Structure formats: C-alpha cells, structure tokens
Amino acid sequence: GMVMKPEPFFEAVDDLAPEGPVVLLSARGRRFEHRDAVRLAVQPELTLLCGHYKDVDQRVADGLATEELSLGDFVLSGG
C-alpha cells in the first residue's frame, strides 16, 4: 500500500510549533479510550496527525508524535 512521505508532516508541525501533545492516529497505536479523551481534553493545545491510504512513514511516528492512538478496529474509506 501507499505510505505518506514524512516531509509534509515535519513542515506542518514545524510551522505550528505545538506546545501540547502531538498524537498520531494509527492502526498500530494503542486503542483510544475514555481516559485518553479526559487526559487530552485538559491540554492547552492538541495536535492530531493522521495519514491517508495505508499509513505514514515511520519517521513521523519516531520524530514527531508524542504518542500513537488507534480509533478502533475498523477500516475507513480511503485508508
């Protein structure tokens, strides 16, 4: 499958200069639960990264994300 290249992610996050968590939404992440919603809701800022098609380049997870979360065991149209 197609994997999104990392450069657009790095440029976008660099432009944003986020002060809070940077969460990568990924099928290989830990399942998103209510406790995650509560924990993230109190953050002053939250950045969500998500790919399209199969996944994003592993360098995005390694270099940008503070954590990886999965929204559930299902496949969405387009990835």
Give domain limits for the chain: 3-70
Q: Check pLDDT > 70 for residue 1.
A: no
Q: Check pLDDT > 90 for residue 2.
A: no
Assess contact for 69 and 21: CB atoms under 8 A.
no
Rounded Cα distance between 23 and 45, Å, is 11
Name the phi and psi angles at 21, rounded to 5: -60, 145
May I ask the CATH class of domain 3-70? alpha beta
- The residue that leads in pLDDT, 52 or 61, is 61
What is the amino acid identity at position 45?
A: E
H-only helix segments in the chain: 7-16, 34-41, 58-63
- The residue that leads in pLDDT, 75 or 69, is 69
What is the pLDDT, as a whole number, of residue 3? 76
pTM as predicted:
0.87
Rounded Cα distance between 13 and 47, Å, is 8
What is the pLDDT, as a whole number, of residue 52? 77
